[in-house]
Structure 1
Amino acid sequence: MSQTRPVPASAELVDDLVPGVRVLLLDETRYTSGSHKEPAARAVVAKARADGHDRVIVGSCGSYGRAMATACAAAGLHCTVVLPADWGDGGSFAETAGADVRFVSGGYEDAVEESHRLALAEEAADGNVDGPYQESVLSGHGEIVSTVYRMLGGADAALWIPAGNGTTIVAAGRQLAALDWPVPVHGVGSPGNNPIVTSWPGPYRTLPADQVVTTVHNEPLVNWDALHGPGALTVITASGGAVHAATDDDLLAAQSLLARHRRYASPSGAAGLAGLLAHARFARSAGVQIVLLTGR
C-alpha cells in the first residue's frame, strides 16, 4: 500500500522573536497530526508491520495517539488509542484518522496501563513509549536533532524541549551523543505536575498520583511518573542543561508571541519557548537556541 508522504518539520532561524537571542524554531506542527511524535509513530508502525501485526495499541493523553493514528492509517494498519476520559483531547482527531478510541478513568499512566493490557489480550503490537518498540520510538524522536544538525553543522547551540514523559529528551540526548555534538538540553514542564520538574536537580522521584493537576493548557506536560524521567534527568545533567517550570500563563504568553510571528502551537507545545523567555538573559551569548515547537 502506498503511504502519504509526511510533511517534514520546518527549521528556521528567527532573530526577532527573543531580543538579543538567535532562535531556531523547529516547527513540528506541520505534520498531519500536528505532533513531533509522528516520526516515532511511523518508526513503530514500520517495525510492527514487519513483525506481522495488523494493529498497534497505545495509551496517550492525545499527542502520541494522534501521531499513531495518523501513521497507522497511512500504512494500512488498525490502531487503538486509549485516552483518559476526563482529559481535554476527546479523541476526535484519532477517530477521524480511523482509530478505535477507548477511554479509562484516571490519568495518562492509567491509559498506558490499560493499553498494555489490551495489547497483550488482543495479541496486537504494544506501541507505547515504554513497550517492546521503545528503540523505534527513540530512533524516531531522534530525528529532531538530525534535522537541526544538518542545518547548523555542529555550531554552538542549546536545545529547549517540552517535558512530559521525558522520551523526546532521552532520544535527543542519544542522537547528540551519536553526533558528538555538545549541546545543553533544557526541559520545560508544568510546575508541581511532573517529576522531571519537581525532582530537578536531585534524583528522580515520582509524585503522588492525586497531587498533579491538569488543565486544558498543560495536559501533555503532566505526569506523576514520567516513563523516561530518570533518563531525561541524566541527559539534562550530563549536557549542562537544566529543568525549568512554565505556568499556564507562561505557556499562553509564549503561544501568543509565536502567533504574532505567524507560528502556531498549542500552549503546551510552546513550552520550550516559555522556558527560553524566562531565561533569555543566560542565552544571549550562548549560540543558537533551538526551540522544539509542537501542535500538541
Structure 2
Amino acid sequence: MLTSTLTVVDDLRPGVRILIKDESLYSSGSHKEPAAYAVAAQARADGHDRVFVGSCGSYGRAMAKAAAEIGLKCTVVLPAGWGDSGEFALSTGAEICFAEGGYEDAVDEARRLAEETGCADGNVDGPYKNAVLAGHGRVIDALHAELGSSPATVWVPIGNGTTIVALHRRLQALGWPVAVQGVGSPGNNPILTSWPGPYQVLPSDAVITTEHNEPLVNWHALHGPDALAALAESGGAAHAATDDELVAAQALLARYGLRPSPAGAAGLAGLLQHTGSLTGTQIVILTGRSL
C-alpha cells in the first residue's frame, strides 16, 4: 500500500500556510483503500469468502483491490449510467453489478445481495462500519506524527460524511484540537443543506450529478447526522464548492504535480472560497483521482 505525501503550498492564499495531504496515490486512486483493507481483512477473518459493496466508484475500486490481495471475492454494485463503468474493479477480478437509480440504490442492492447470499456486507454503514472509520482515520495519525499538536484545520470533501466522522473520531482520541471543514456540492448533499441545523434527507430527485461532482452527491448521506455533529463539535462547518470551483482547484494543484479529480480537490476549493479569517495550519486532504 502506497503512503501519502505532504506538499507545502504557501502561494495560493497570501499569509496562509496550506499543507496538501495527497491520499489519492493508492493504486485504486482513492483515499478509501485503508478502510477497504480493514473491512476485507475482518470479513475474511469472520469466515466470509465474498464481500458486497455499493459505490459510485472510489470505494468499489478500493474494495476490489483490497479483496483481491486478501483472497476474498468481491462484488461491486454501481449506479447505472454514472461515470464509473467498473473497469478498474473488473481488472482486479471483481464482479460488477449495476443498479438503477443513484448511489443509495446501489448500496441498497449490495446490502440485499449480501443478506440473500449470506456474504459480507462491506457497505460503509454496515456491520463493518467501525473498520471503515478506523481505516479512514489513519491519515490523522500520519499528520499528527508530522505536525504534533499545533493548531490546525483540516479540509475534506463531503460525501456520505464517513470521512468527516472518522477524522473527528481520531482527532478526539489523540486530543488534537483540529477544526474539520467539509466541502460539498451546493444543493446536492443533505449534510451541506442541513448545516447548521438538524439533519434532513433531500428528495431523491432533487440532486444533480455531473462528471465533476458525482462523489459529492447524496440525497441521503449514510453518516449524515454524525457528520453534522462532528463538524459542530470540532469547530468546523460545511461549505459549498461549485463545479467550476472544483475544476479550478484541480488546475491549481496540477501546478504542483498533484492530480486529484475535481471532487477529490473539493477541500482546496472550499478553503479558497472561504471569506473568513484562517488561523493555524490549513491541511487539505485530496481524496481521489481519476483513473
TM-score bucket of the superposed structures, by smaller chain = over 0.9
Aligned mate of 1:204, from 188, 199, 204: 199
Aligned mate of 1:260, from 250, 255, 264: 255
Question: 1:279 offset after TM fit, Å?
Answer: 1.3
Aligned to 2:283: 290
Residues 69-92 of structure 1, C-alpha deviations (whole Å, 9 max, x = no match) = 010111111110000001111111
Output aligned runs, 1:276-287, within 5 Å: 276-279=271-274, 282-283=277-278, 286-287=279-280
Aligned mate of 1:143, from 138, 144, 149: 138
Output aligned runs, 1:124-139, within 5 Å: 124-139=119-134
Q: Which amino acid aligns with 2:222?
A: L
Residues 97-131 of structure 1, C-alpha deviations (whole Å, 9 max, x = no match) = 21101001100000000000000111111000110
* Contact kept in structure 2, 1:190 and 1:221, CA below 8 Å: yes
Q: What is the TM-score of this pair, normalised by structure 2? A: 0.97
Separation (CA, whole Å) in 2 of partners of 1:132 and 1:234: 21
Distance verdict in 2 for CA 1:281–1:234, change over 3 Å: closer
Gap regions ≥5 residues in structure 2: none
Q: Does 1:53 align with 2:65?
A: no
Separation (CA, whole Å) in 2 of partners of 1:191 and 1:161: 15
Q: Does 1:121 align with 2:94?
A: no
Aligned mate of 2:77, from 68, 76, 82: 82
Aligned to 1:215: 210
Aligned to 2:155, the other structure's residue is in SS state: strand
Separation (CA, whole Å) in 1 of partners of 2:13 and 2:30: 24
Separation (CA, whole Å) in 2 of partners of 1:12 and 1:259: 12
Q: Which amino acid aligns with 2:48?
A: H
Aligned to 2:26, the other structure's residue is in SS state: coil
Runs of 4+ in 1 over 3 A off after TM superposition: none
Aligned mate of 1:112, from 71, 89, 107: 107
Aligned to 2:10, the other structure's residue is in SS state: strand
Aligned to 1:12, the other structure's residue is in SS state: strand
Aligned mate of 1:37, from 32, 37, 40: 32
Larger mean Cα displacement after TM superposition, 203-212 or 88-97: 88-97
Separation (CA, whole Å) in 1 of partners of 2:126 and 2:276: 40
Question: 1:281 offset after TM fit, Å?
Answer: 5.2
RMSD of Structure 2 on Structure 1 (CA):
1.0
Separation (CA, whole Å) in 2 of partners of 1:63 and 1:259: 20
Aligned to 1:88, the other structure's residue is in SS state: coil
Separation (CA, whole Å) in 1 of partners of 2:18 and 2:112: 43
* Contact kept in structure 2, 1:21 and 1:280, CA below 8 Å: no
* Contact kept in structure 2, 1:11 and 1:147, CA below 8 Å: no
Q: What is the TM-score of this pair, normalised by structure 1? A: 0.96
Separation (CA, whole Å) in 1 of partners of 2:7 and 2:257: 13
Q: What number of residue pairs does the alignment pair up?
A: 289
Aligned mate of 2:239, from 244, 248, 264: 244
Q: Which amino acid aligns with 2:165?
A: V
Separation (CA, whole Å) in 2 of partners of 1:295 and 1:231: 23
Q: Does 1:162 align with 2:157?
A: yes
Q: Does 1:178 align with 2:176?
A: no
* Contact kept in structure 2, 1:17 and 1:261, CA below 8 Å: no
* Contact kept in structure 2, 1:55 and 1:80, CA below 8 Å: yes
Separation (CA, whole Å) in 2 of partners of 1:176 and 1:280: 25
Question: 1:295 offset after TM fit, Å?
Answer: 2.2
Q: Does 1:65 align with 2:60?
A: yes
Gap regions ≥5 residues in structure 1: 1-5
Question: 1:280 offset after TM fit, Å?
Answer: 6.1
Distance verdict in 2 for CA 1:7–1:167, change over 3 Å: same
Residues 269-293 of structure 1, C-alpha deviations (whole Å, 9 max, x = no match) = 000000001116522xx11101010
Aligned to 2:107, the other structure's residue is in SS state: helix
